[in-house]
A and B are shown apart, each in its own frame.
Chain A
Amino acid sequence: MARMKFLCDADRCIECNACVTACKNENEVPWGINRRRVVTINDGHPGERSLSVACMHCSDAPCIAVCPVNCIYQTAEGVVLHNKDLCIGCGYCFYACPFGAPQYPQLGNFGSRGKMDKCTFCGGGPEPDNSEAEYKKYGSNRLALGKLPLCAEMCSTKALLAGDGNQVSAIYRERIVARGFGTGAWGWGKAYPGGGT
């Protein structure tokens, strides 16, 4: 199996924010944290485009390279996960990430913050699959149940695709051929340089 990837088709995204809501609900993401968000460029002008952005689970993830406590790792399927027991909330990964994916819950006044939180591709964490501890720390583990991330599964226009990178790119390629135009899959060049399979 090729690595797991996200792809947001900017020509299909209608900025409904259902992916954001689905993610927050499925994973019971705490207040102040958005693992996924919809970004709109040229808002209200010709050429307006919206993109659903979260951790892209990069093939050569810069967050892994900069983490001083080595709490971030990749699974066999290429999903980038982290261990909250090891995370010290330093924020290096946030500065390294080209997509602004890592988030930090505010713990108290004066900017004190907690452990990093980010999209897990609905893959949970290092705790036993679908255990209470895993759900509490990382949210739902849909991958272990044979299900894709809920944000992609419930996207009404199928703008947000997730799954095996080869299959996802095949679906997108088919769309581009049918449309007769295409500007490339947003973020793929940065997240998966050279294909990243």
Chain B
Amino acid sequence: MKRPLKGLSVLALALVAAASLSACRESELGRPISLEKGTYQGPRDQPLSQATLKALRERTAGQNYSGN
């Protein structure tokens, strides 16, 4: 009677260990897990296109109007 209980507890321990170790990789967590001080390692913005930058420059220039 004791043997099956022992076997079950070993099995349960093994399952708990496997569950606690799963999904620990960076890709599974979906976030960086190694930290380098002052360095952002997450996803970044898409860079703005030249056309967008041109439009932004035009808008910035448009903020100037006469008068002090």
Q: Which residues of A contact B (CB under 8 A)?
A: 1, 64-65, 69-73, 75-77, 81, 83, 85-86, 123-129, 143-148, 152-153, 158, 161-164, 167-168, 171, 174-175, 178-179
Complex Cα distance A153/B63, Å? 8
Closest to B60 in A: A163
Closest to A168 in B: B60
Establish whether residues B63 and A163, one from each chain, have CB atoms under 8 Å apart when the complex forms: yes
Establish whether residues B52 and A146, one from each chain, have CB atoms under 8 Å apart when the complex forms: yes
Q: Mark B31-68 against chain A: 1 for CB-CB distance below 8 A, else 0.
A: 11001111111111111100111111101110111011
Given A86-B31, A129-B46, A70:B36 Cβ within 8 A? yes
Size band of the interface chain B makes with A = 20 to 34
Establish whether residues A179 and B43, one from each chain, have CB atoms under 8 Å apart when the complex forms: no
Closest to A70 in B: B40
B34 shortest CB reach to chain A, Å: 10
Contacts of B32 in A (CB 8 A): 70, 86
Establish whether residues A146 and B42, one from each chain, have CB atoms under 8 Å apart when the complex forms: no
Complex Cα distance A175/B55, Å? 23
Complex Cα distance A183/B9, Å? 76
Contacts of A144 in B (CB 8 A): 46, 48, 52
A181 shortest CB reach to chain B, Å: 10
Establish whether residues B68 and A178, one from each chain, have CB atoms under 8 Å apart when the complex forms: yes
Complex Cα distance A29/B58, Å? 28
